[in-house]
Chain A
Amino acid sequence: MSDMHSTPGPREPARPGNDNGMSRRSFLRLSGGATAFAGVAALTAGLAPLRELASFTSLEKFLQKHYKEMTPREMERVLDRIAREVERQYGMRPHVRDLKPMDGVEFVYALNLSRCIGCRRCVHACVAENNQSGDPALEYIRVVKMPQGTFDLTKGEHNYEPESVPEEGYFYMPVQCQQCANPPCVKVCPVRATWQEPDGITVIDYDWCIGCRYCQAACPYFARRFNFKKPVIPKERLNPNMSYLGNRPREVGVVEKCHFCIQRTRAGRYPACLEVCPVGARKFGNVLDPESEISYILREKRVFTFILKEEQGTLPRFFYYLDK
């Protein structure tokens, strides 16, 4: 231990009964180098798959602010970036907007269970309108086939595929985001990436979501979907009419859900699921306007109107009703 003063570095601790002196020391140096080399090599090999991550994020995306904190100029730049990315990937210049809620408007949905025939056209119209991934398939609307005489959802069937619908003895209950006035998903989000807009639509900033899936665990309606894989939209199906909080293509690792077709409804159109419904079971409108159809339904069909899981206190803006 004579090198103590010449080398100002720390010294290995003396271990009782294990003092082999210099030979051990030089051996350690040699084997230490070899071990370090092997370790670094193994580490490099282990991390090799990350080379494919090049397009995962960019500085521009990394520095992007939360939706509510962006200035109009910043939002313009972001919309332009999204348009460029879509063009690069799909060869089509989209029309990406950030539509704001309209004053004096609160959207409400109503669905006539007596009419629904369970054809799932709404499901497919929704997928096409909202640029949902085809592979893996991702759908916002789930239609549950229920035996007549019960509302116990555990008795329902999700993957029914008969020759033709409706089937005798069953009724059909489509479920999508209920746009709750007291939304549990918004409460649990640790990064405030999801919130309720003044017109009643609960939206997600797909560029802020960290993908923790707490909102999925909290939702009592199974309304939220997670992108477990990079979403793939067939080019010929891409809907170029896009909105930041709505149907612009999503990335892997974020949550999405029904937003009442925000890119249509905030521009004065009906949601895609409503337009496609062949039996007119779906109704939508501004509940703050007493003259609207939706106000009429909620007023006149009062006895036969209900909300799903009322006991949860989530106050859905999605009503189910029955004809007399």
Chain B
Amino acid sequence: MARNGIPAWLVFAGRCLRAGATGDWRYYAWIGALGAVTILGLNAYANQAVAGLATTGLQDQVPWGIYIANFTFLLGIAGAAVILVIPVSMYIKRNLQDLVIFCALLAVTAIVMALAFVVVDLGRPDRFAHIFPGWVPSLRVIVLAGYLLLNLHIVVYLLYCHYRNRRPSAAFYIPFVLIAVVWAITLHTATAFLFLGLGETIFWNQAIIGPRFITAAFVAGPALLLLALQVTQWVASYDLRERALPFLRMIMLVAMVFSVFLLLNEVLRNYFRSTGQPFEIDYLYFGLNGFRPLIPWIVTAVGLNLIALIILVLPAHRSRALINVACICAVVGIWIEKAMGLVVPGFIPTPLGEIMVYTPTWNEAFIWFGIWAFGLLIFTFSLRVTIPILQGTLSIADSTPGEAGIAAPRPHFT
């Protein structure tokens, strides 16, 4: 179908872009602030590209830091966001189908951010193309790129159907959703195995690492989604909360209980062992040979996790203000646990027994904030486009009045 010779999908894309570029002053202020932080991050990255990774706190002894930690964390978010789709789109909650789009959008954003963190971590970003040996992509690339494409397909297809007031054909998205779900678990377990495969470090080479990744991601993913829904309701009077909140809360609660349980298992296992000294865990929680740089981090992380758990377990979680607190605590707590609690202590002591202290530099931190701002920018923009489509205010009906007449309220397909 074409209007004035322009294909309908092109009109759709153009209108989406237009919708994303308009909004009230709050929208502009938010976008402007995010843009400014993104540019600060770009500037920091330009510095790093010129001077080398010496601008970071990384050393030969601790070659990975917050970039890889963010990469790990975000792949978890990407995975968890899509796994949420199982109950939503399959059987239980058919009235939550809009949430599928939110989940896939979050996944797409998280993957883009994760890729950005990999690129800034590289010493030679100009050779990024080398990961395609002979232009045949390696398995890792297929896994990541395939996941990105799957989610993009799901989002664009569902939105376009909404836009055209068409009922999505199950054959065009249910199989993709199913594949994406399996893919999500694979992806995040594979992330765990990036560390687990480094067998010299007993700290990483544990069967519990994979399950810990998945459970932590199942807390942080829904928490981010829940926060997004709260903000959406506040600024766009689009309310999915009645339907989505109890569901997300329940997932968070269950995942949080398991997450804390696995954490205790991981720590206590070391102290019930009758031989050997758990250097990495000692370094992380109690300090090693007088070096205690990670204790404040891990105490904060565990504290925030426990606060989130307590709020979720108590009836207080029905308060919408308190659930926000729980979500923020969970996201920050899990992030710290991944960064300072998983990546860094794995390197200490070094293979030759040294103890080095890794502290991120300001330049490194600006890159980190810049990528997060960029991710929020993408997510905000895509929600700004998505919500009018879901509300029915951006639809094909009002672009071709001769055909469909006055935009009728979109029938809610189930």
Contacts and interface: CB of A to CB of B under 8 A. Distances in A.
B351 to A, nearest CB: 5
B273 interface: no
Given A14-B393, A230-B52, A210 B36 contact: no
Interface string B38-64: 011011001101111110101111011
A47 B199 contact: no
B339 to A, nearest CB: 15
Nearest to A69: B134
Contacts of A235: none
Interface residues of A, number: 74
Interface stretch (B10-18, B82-90, B226-234, B305-313): B10-18
Given A9-B14, A10-B399, A222-B350, A211 B388 contact: no
B239 interface: no
Contact-size category for B: 35 or more
B353 A216 contact: no
Interface string A199-236: 00000000011111100111111101111111000000
Contacts of B60: 216, 222, 224-226
Contact of A144 (B53, B125, B353, B388): B353
B4 to A, nearest CB: 4
Interface stretch (B107-115, B116-124, B153-161, B165-173): B116-124
Contact of B50 (A18, A39, A52): A52
Nearest to A212: B122
Interface string B157-191: 00000000000000000000000000000000000
Interface string A271-299: 00000000000000000000000000000
Contacts of B50: 49-50, 52-53
A13 B388 CA distance: 7
A46 B124 CA distance: 20
A46 B46 contact: yes
B200 A12 contact: no
A2 to B, nearest CB: 12
A49 B17 contact: no
B131 interface: yes
B399 A253 contact: no
A267 interface: no
A49 B47 contact: yes
A253 B199 contact: no
Given A212-B121, A228-B52, A190 B131 contact: yes
Nearest to A25: B22
Interface string B1-35: 00110100001001111110110100010001001
A66 B60 CA distance: 25
Contacts of B46: 46-50
A209 B53 CA distance: 15
Contacts of A39: 35
B292 interface: no
Contact of B127 (A11, A155, A210): A210
Nearest to B384: A13
Nearest to B24: A18
Given A212-B121, A222-B351, A227-B52, A11 B198 contact: no
Contacts of A219: 200, 351
A88 interface: no
Given A208-B127, A208-B130, A210-B130, A13 B199 contact: no
B211 to A, nearest CB: 22
A45 B352 CA distance: 44
Contact of A13 (B64, B118, B354, B394): B394
Contacts of B198: 184, 188, 217-218
Nearest to B3: A8
Given A12-B18, A13-B19, A228-B52, A152 B353 contact: yes
Contact of B19 (A12, A154, A188, A224): A12
Contacts of A53: 49-50
B140 interface: yes
Given A43-B39, A229-B52, A210 B123 contact: yes
Given A224-B60, A228-B54, A253 B123 contact: yes
Nearest to B10: A10
Given A208-B127, A217-B347, A10 B353 contact: no
Nearest to B4: A8
A12 B53 CA distance: 44
Given A191-B133, A253-B124, 12 more contacts: A13-B394, A15-B393, A42-B36, A46-B39, A46-B43, A50-B49, A156-B353, A210-B130, A212-B123, A229-B52, A309-B200, A309-B351
